[in-house]
Amino acid sequence: MMKVKTGIVVFLAVFLLFSVNGFAAKPDDVLVSGIMYDETSSGSRAIVNGMIVKAGDKAGDAEIISIRPDGVVVRIGTVEREIGLNNPGEGSSSKPAQGKAKSGFWVGLKEWLSSFGRKRADTSAKMTSQEHYLKAMDLYQQAENSTYNKERVELYQSAVKYAQYSLDIELPDAGKAGQLRNIIEDSRAKGSRLSEKLNKGREMDRLFIEGRKYMEIARNLSSSEASLRSKKKDNYSLALQYFNQAYGMAEDGYDKRKIEDKITAVEAALEAME
């Protein structure tokens, strides 16, 4: 009887120990399949349990505490664990990140996307929604990293499209739905500003080209005859008008010197004709 009681006490002690430290947090249940590390903590992203997350987000029961170059610190319940970068499909064997952390992120993302073709989804709608979700996240991140405004506008527009596709299928995960709505709102705002900037740049280029055209016409006209001299002056005046408009539309950071040089040359030509 004494042995039975002792056995029960040991069992309960082991059970309570695992309840606090083991069952509350199972690092094996958390899969980190990609990391894009940024020295600024706000810029770091990771793929955890199929979700692209940043510090402060949740992936299922796991709260993301911080993202490191070779792993992610998560909290499940009251217990924190550091989970190393894993390759999808290899269980919980932890592997350090190879090469640049950013490349690991994209490799992980591509592998995760391709893995959907090999995995059985509960329903085809759920699978399609998840694919659209990951595609939207990928396009948005590409837009953020691109340095070409035209490309950024196109990527933001595509991100909105795929995010809306995913939401239209009624994605059940509230966290993912929130991320997608943020992508739509942010992409539309940034895309709109960039489109306006591009349109302004096109108009500035058009004005500059018009100015060069009238400047060239004026240069080719003879100033020996009074009628041609008047026409020459008119064309120079038109060229100066277009150059001044183009200069007024040039934003900070744009090389304004080429416009300034044309304005100076036209003003000198007009002054010489007085």
**Length of the chain in terms of residues written:** 274
Tokens of 265: 């040359």
| 38-79 residue pLDDT tens | 665 566 778 887 777 888 888 878 888 888 878 888 888 888
What's the pLDDT band for 100 if we cut at 50, 70, 90? very low
**What is Dmax (Cα atoms) for the chain?**
129
Cα 162 to Cα 53, 159, 238: the distances in Å are 18, 5, 48
Instruction: Set out the domains of the chain in order of their start, with CATH numbers.
Output: 197-273 (1.20.58)
- SS3 labels along 71-119: EEEEEECCEEEEEECCCCCCCCCCCCCCCCHHHHHHHHHHHHHHHCCCC
Task: Write down the pTM of the prediction.
Answer: 0.45
Cα 119 to Cα 102, 106, 135: the distances in Å are 26, 20, 17
For residue 27, the 8-state DSSP code is G
